[in-house]
Chains A and B, each alone.
Chain A
Amino acid sequence: MTEFVQRFVNGLSIGSVYAIFALGYTLVFSILGIINFAHGAIFTCGAYFTYMLTGATFGANGIFAKTHLPIVLPLAVATIVGAILAGLLGVLIERLAFRPLRRRNSDRLLALVSSLGVATLLVNFIQYLVGAENYSYKTRLTGDLPIAVNLGSEASPIPIRTIQILIFAVAGVILIALTFLINFTKFGKALRAVAEDATTASLLGISTDRFIWLTFFLSGFLGGLAGTLVGSSVSIAGPYFGIAFGLKGLAVIVLGGLGDIPGAVVGGLVLGLAEAFVPADQSAFKDAVAFALLFIVLLIRPQGLLGRVQVQKV
Chain B
Amino acid sequence: MADFFTSNSGVIVSMVLAAILGLSVYLPLMAGQLSLASPGFYALGGYTAAVLSTRVFPHEGGQIAFGYIVLEMLAAGVLSGILAIIVGIPALRLRGIYLALATIAFVEVLRVLSLNLTITGGAIGIFKIPQPFNSQHQLPYLLFAVPMLAIAMLFVARLERCRIGRAFTAIREDELAADAMGIQPTYHKVLAFTMGAILAGTVGAVSAHVLNTWNARQGTFDASIAFLAFVLIGGSRTFLGPVFGGLVLTMLPEVLRAVGNIGGLPKPVTTFLKDGRFIIFGLLLVIGTIFFPQGLITPELVGRLRGRTPPTPPAPTADPLPAAVR
Interface residues of A (CB under 8 A from B): 33, 35, 63, 96-97, 100-101, 104-114, 116-122, 124-125, 127-128, 243, 247, 250-251, 254, 284-285, 287-288, 290-292, 294-295, 298-299, 302, 312, 314
Contacts and interface: CB of A to CB of B under 8 A. Distances in A.
Interface of B: 32, 34, 90-91, 93-95, 97-98, 100-102, 104-106, 108-109, 112-113, 115-116, 176, 221-222, 225, 228-229, 232, 268, 271-272, 275-279, 281-286, 288-290, 293, 318-326
B108 A107 contact: no
B177 to A, nearest CB: 8
A97 B319 CA distance: 15
A121 to B, nearest CB: 3
B325 A109 contact: yes
A121 B279 contact: yes
A113 B279 contact: no
9 contacts: A33-B325, A63-B268, A100-B290, A101-B290, A110-B289, A110-B321, A117-B281, A247-B105, A285-B113
A106 B293 contact: yes
Contacts of B115: 284
Contacts of A111: 289
Closest 7 CB pairs of A and B: A117-B285, A121-B282, A120-B282, A291-B105, A117-B286, A124-B278, A288-B112
Contact of B34 (A100, A109, A250, A284): A109
Task: Give the interface centre of A33, A63, A114 by most chain B CB atoms within 10 Å.
Answer: A114
Nearest to B272: A128
Nearest to B224: A116
Contact of A314 (B176, B272, B275): B176
Nearest to B98: A298
Task: Give the interface centre of A120, A127, A250, A288 by most chain B CB atoms within 10 Å.
Answer: A120
Given A290-B105, A295-B109, 16 more contacts: A63-B271, A106-B293, A110-B289, A110-B321, A113-B228, A117-B283, A117-B285, A119-B282, A124-B278, A247-B104, A250-B104, A284-B112, A285-B116, A288-B109, A295-B106, A298-B98
Contacts of B282: 117-122, 124
Contacts of B106: 291, 295
B290 A114 contact: yes
A110 B32 CA distance: 11
B285 A287 contact: no
A114 B289 contact: yes
Contacts of A35: 97, 100-101
A18 B293 CA distance: 33
A124 B101 contact: no
Contact of A116 (B95, B228, B279): B228
Contacts, number: 146
B162 to A, nearest CB: 25
A251 B290 contact: no
A162 to B, nearest CB: 31
Given A117-B289, A120-B281, A312-B95, A295 B272 contact: no
B97 A285 contact: no
B90 A243 contact: no
Contacts of A302: 93-94, 98
B268 A114 contact: no
A18 to B, nearest CB: 15
A8 B30 CA distance: 46
Contacts of B268: 63
Nearest to B104: A247
Contacts of B321: 107, 109-110
Nearest to B33: A109
B109 A291 contact: yes
Nearest to A62: B271
A121 B283 contact: yes
B290 A107 contact: no
A250 B288 CA distance: 24
Contact of A243 (B221, B325, B326): B221
Nearest to A314: B176
Given A117-B286, A288-B112, A125 B102 contact: no
A211 B56 CA distance: 61
A298 to B, nearest CB: 5
A295 B102 contact: yes
Contacts of B283: 117, 121
A259 to B, nearest CB: 11
Nearest to B123: A284
B100 A112 contact: yes
A91 B229 CA distance: 24
A122 B283 CA distance: 9
Task: Give the interface centre of B100, B108, B268 by most chain A CB atoms within 10 Å.
Answer: B108
Contacts of A250: 101, 104-105
A110 B91 CA distance: 19
A298 B96 CA distance: 13
A244 to B, nearest CB: 8
A312 B176 contact: yes
Task: Give the interface centre of B94, B276, B284, B289 by most chain A CB atoms within 10 Å.
Answer: B289
Contact of A114 (B108, B281, B285): B285
A124 to B, nearest CB: 4
Contacts of B278: 120-121, 124
Contact of A106 (B100, B221, B222, B319): B319
Contacts of A33: 325
A201 B277 CA distance: 43
A294 B108 CA distance: 11
Contacts of B271: 63, 128
A251 B112 CA distance: 15
